[in-house]
Amino acid sequence: MCLATLFKGFFLFLMSVFAMASDYQWPTNATRLLSGTFGETRSAHFHSGIDIKTWAQKGYECYAPADGYIERVTVSPYGYGKALYIHLRDQRIAVFAHLDSFYGPIADRVCQEQSLSKKVFLDLSFPPGAYPVKKGEIVAYSGNSGTVVPHIHFELRDSMNYPINPLLNGFPIKDNIAPEPVEIAFVPLGPNARVNGSLGDMIFPLESIHGNLYTVADTIYLYGTYGINLKAWDRANNAYNKNGVYSISLFLDGKNIFESQFDILFWDYTHWMNEDRNYRLSYEGNGIFYKLYTSDLTKVLSFYKQKNKGYLIIDEGTHLCEIFVRDAMGNESCVKIPVKGMPTPQNPCTVKKIGHEWFVILDSTYWINHSQDILKIDHYNSLGSLIKEQTYPLRSIDMGIFTLYPENETAVFLCRILPNKGPALPPVLTYIYPNETYPKSDISIIPRHFSQGILFDIKAKGFLPPSIILSLEGRMCNALKWEPISVNQGRTTIIPVEEFEIYDYLNVYNYQGMTLETVWQIMPQCVKFTDHVILSSSDSLFEVNIAQETFFRDVLTWIVENEASNNPEGGKILSTLYSLHPMDQPLNCPLEIVLKTQPGYVDDRSKGLYCKKDEGTWSLIQERYDAMGTCYRSKVQQCGTYAILEDTMPPILNKMFPEEGGRYRAETLKEAWIEVTDNLSGIDPEEIQVFLNGTWMIYYYNDPTGIVSVKMPEILPRGKNTLWWNFKDKAGHTQGKSINFYVIG
């Protein structure tokens, strides 16, 4: 009886909570349309709320969803921008971010704090009851603070301050549109795994075959252990934004082997977005893919609902993969993909010179048993141009022997078998050059990390000569096998990271004409998940401190040193460029880098430690020496290229309102603004000064847009007014401008 009473009481408590949740006020009068959903991808974290569309306009009313009190407000040039936190009567917390302004007594309090401290960026907390609010009461106005396009970021957090999905907790939207699966990627989770005969991963487009049912056009042949990655997005009624999905389930032959579902997020794990989404595929420019498998680390995360790891271990024969993709409103799409477990045979083609002629000779057993297959021969001339493509059914080739006719005894042939069924076979790349004098080509090596190791893509600007040798060297020497993919690309199998523990170098040679030429070299170091490793550059000036559990898995890491060839505009590179790899892997926690300076280096505020973002652009990460005064020291969130730079230019002032000499009616002067940019170190938000007719003004600097804005007084004197802007970048350079404008009417 006691248990029944306890259960009944708990049930009534849940019903009361749900009743309160269902009675929430929608948080704005802007729209009930979304441009972002809970749990979707952001730059380094999961999206912890929903983004409500405001038609790229500012000034929409934001309402308290229920009775409660304002417990916190923040003003920042980054992140949430201007944000407001309401403690609701059910102990949940509602958060509004990217606001343009606060409303009522809380707006007065913020203004008072800013005026007294002469500091505009703040974080204020208040006791319960200091600023009570009623359901439906205006608390703020929408904007774009801390971001670019105006919208409302709205969060609902539980009583422990963890974000929960608003769409499932009292803030539904109109949505009867199912998510759209777009592409599927098969990623190897073990050495020697192949998909359709290819080493590494493969991406396939998905197509709708009936309503919300999707599949791939081709048969998928797998060998080894694989994981599925899915690119998918969701849309709602009357909104065309491509938003994140709510839930994904994976079934293999009817058994549920993976399921994720975004109901709640924990702050300690929000950066694990880079593991739930495939960071490497995104880094390589393929877009955002959801991983449908876990590791021993990630399987504990709150949004994984299935104990199985999601690995596809395919036996020989036909199997069915089914993926169900859902949004928070219950709409569902299904992907059905038949996969066939089948090992990839060796290419049955051998190219030989007999006398003065060249022949493609097919393995006799293969030729007899696969007469429906096609022999495809691509013929290239010495300049790298494709001369001819030839295809022949194997049954039409007499005795399985085909004659090649090189042009002027100089040619390249790519011979491949196109099977009638089954995975594609690795091609055979044949050079026909006198004395094996293959043309030289620029070679690049692209290391690619996978869950179970690393493989190397070999790329050439021209032909990829068969004389390329990949060699691991150290206490032992090991030549790595590779196979051609095309005339200018080859690939190794996946090599477990621990195999690199006994090697000091990975060298790539071009062995030609009895000459061994080094064309690429790194000094890789195996870093296991549990290792604490310190790396140093060859000149001992750059040091990397990698603590335990810095990466999500065992990785291969190395440092590449290069001299700068071009200085960025308005700046000067003062050191060697140090590139820390692997750049295709995210970090679980920051690593520490130290860059020492040469004797005679003079430190001043214009110099600092920078990270390269894009070609020609840099970001300041540390502007001060450490306490010893001999180096720059910083925690960084990703591998990248680092150097010491000097900022030589002050900030640049661009468009502004009001303009010099402008004549305006007072009612048009609600807000003054100016756009400011800096070439290198960036604007210091705390060092901005704005004066109107000699009076200090509260400003807001929005870092993503570079706009500084000021709310103008309700009453401006007629005639001449003077607005003075002054800026300082983080290198200490200043730039100011005085604007005279006139109030008329």
Task: For the beta carbon of residue 296, count every other beta carbon within 10 angstroms.
Answer: 9
Q: Does 451 have pLDDT greater than 70?
A: yes
The Cα 436–Cα 409 span in angstroms is: 11
The span from the CA of 84 to the CA of 95, in Å, is: 6
Report which of 245, 228, 231, 274 is spatially closest to residue 46, judged by C-alpha positions.
Answer: 274
Q: What is the pLDDT of residue 330?
A: 96
Residue range 520-541, pLDDT digits in tens: 899 999 999 999 999 999 999 9
**Model pLDDT, residue 295:** 83
Q: Are 693 and 660 in contact (CB under 8 A)?
A: no
Q: Is 78 helix (H, G, I), strand (E, B) or coil?
A: coil
- Looking only at the bridges linking them, the beta strands covering 213-215 and 332-341 are parallel
DSSP output for 475-503? SSEEEEPEEEEETTEEEEPPB-GGGGGGE
Question: What pLDDT does 436 receive?
Answer: 63
The region, left, alpha or beta by phi > 0 then psi within -120 to 50, assigned to residue 3 is: alpha
Q: Give the amino acid at 149.
A: V
User: When comparing pLDDT for 346 and 392, which is higher?
Assistant: 392
Question: Is there a contact between 612 and 642 (Cβ–Cβ < 8 Å)?
Answer: yes
- For residue 267, give the 3-state DSSP assignment: helix
Contacts of residue 314, Cβ cutoff 8 Å, sequence gap at least 6: 222, 223, 226, 339, 340, 341
CB burial string 237-274: b at 16+ within 10 A, e below: eebeeebbbbbbbbbbeeebbbbbbbbbbeeebbbbbb
Pairing mode of beta strands 247-252, 198-199: unpaired
Alpha-carbon distance of 323 to 312, in angstroms, equals 13
pLDDT at 649: 96
Tokens representing residue 148 in the block: 């670019």
Give residue 652's Cα distance to chain centre: 30
| Per-chain mean pLDDT for the chain | 91
From 203, 207, 201, select the one nearest 181 (Cα to Cα).
Answer: 207
Q: What are phi and psi of 210, to 5 degrees?
A: -170, 110
| Cβ partners under 8 Å of residue 131, min gap 6 | 69, 70, 105, 106, 109
DSSP at 192: T
- Name the 3-class secondary structure at 530: coil
Residue with tokens 């957090």: 157
Most confident of 299-303, 427-431, 511-515, 650-654: 650-654
Q: By C-alpha distance, which of 369, 166, 333, 141 is closest to 248?
A: 333
pLDDT tens sequence across 500-513: 888 989 999 887 76
**Cβ(288)–Cβ(234) under 8 Å?**
no
* Alpha carbon distance 621, 635 (integer Å): 9
Please give the C-alpha separations between residue 73 and each of 48, 99, 110, in angstroms, as whole numbers: 18, 11, 8
pLDDT band at 301 (very low <50, low <70, confident <90, very high): confident
CA–CA distance from 165 to each of 36, 51, 247, 326, 362 (Å)?
Answer: 12, 12, 12, 14, 60
Please report how many Cα atoms fall inside a 13 Å half-sphere around the Cα of residue 518, on the Cβ side: 8
Report the C-alpha dihedral over residues 303, 306, 312, 313, rounded to 10 degrees.
140
CB–CB of 618/641 below 8 Å? no
Closest CA to 110 of 70, 74, 163, 57: 74
Give ∠ CA 192-195-198 in degrees, rounded to 5: 70
Residue 8: both structure tokens together: 């009944």
Binning pLDDT at 50, 70 and 90, where does residue 555 land?
Answer: very high
Q: Over range 260-285, report the average pLDDT.
A: 93
Q: Are 569 and 536 in contact (CB under 8 A)?
A: no
Rounded to whole angstroms, how far apart are CA atoms 189 and 157?
Answer: 36
Whose CA is closest to 378, among 367, 392, 389? 389
* Higher pLDDT pick, 478 / 120: 120
- pLDDT computed for residue 300 by the predictor: 75
pTM for this predicted structure: 0.91
pLDDT of residue 405: 85
E strands within 104-261? 122-125, 132-133, 138-142, 151-157, 163-164, 180-188, 194-195, 198-199, 202-205, 207-210, 213-215, 220-223, 225-236, 239-243, 247-252, 255-261
Q: Distance between CA atoms of 14 and 179, rounded to whole angstroms?
A: 30
Tell me how long the chain is.
745
How many other β-carbons are positioned within 10 Å of the β-carbon of residue 535? 18
DSSP 264: B
User: pLDDT (tens digit, 9 = 90+) per residue, 362-375?
Assistant: 999 999 999 999 99
Tell me: pLDDT of 16 over 50: no
Give the mean model confidence (pLDDT) for residues 409-419: 88
Distance of alpha carbon 2 from its chain centroid, rounded? 53
Q: Which residues contact 379 (CB under 8 A, 6 or more apart)?
A: 386, 387, 388, 389, 390, 404, 407, 411, 412, 413
Of 340, 329, 12, 353, residue with least CA distance to 175: 329
Task: Provide the pLDDT for residue 22.
Answer: 57
The pLDDT of residue 435 is 64
Q: What is the pLDDT of residue 624?
A: 83
Band (pLDDT 50/70/90 cuts) for residue 14 is very low
At residue 18, the pLDDT reads: 43
At which residue do the structure tokens 């005795």 appear? 399
Give the lowest-confidence range in 90-94, 476-480, 607-611, 636-640.
476-480
pLDDT greater than 80 at residue 332: yes
| Phi, psi values for residue 15, rounded to 5° | -60, -40
**β-strand 641-647 against 577-581: which pairing, if any?**
antiparallel
Span 76-91, mean pLDDT? Answer: 98
Q: How far is CA 189 from the centre of its chain?
A: 21
The predicted structure's pLDDT at residue 6: 34
- pLDDT over threshold 70, residue 12: no
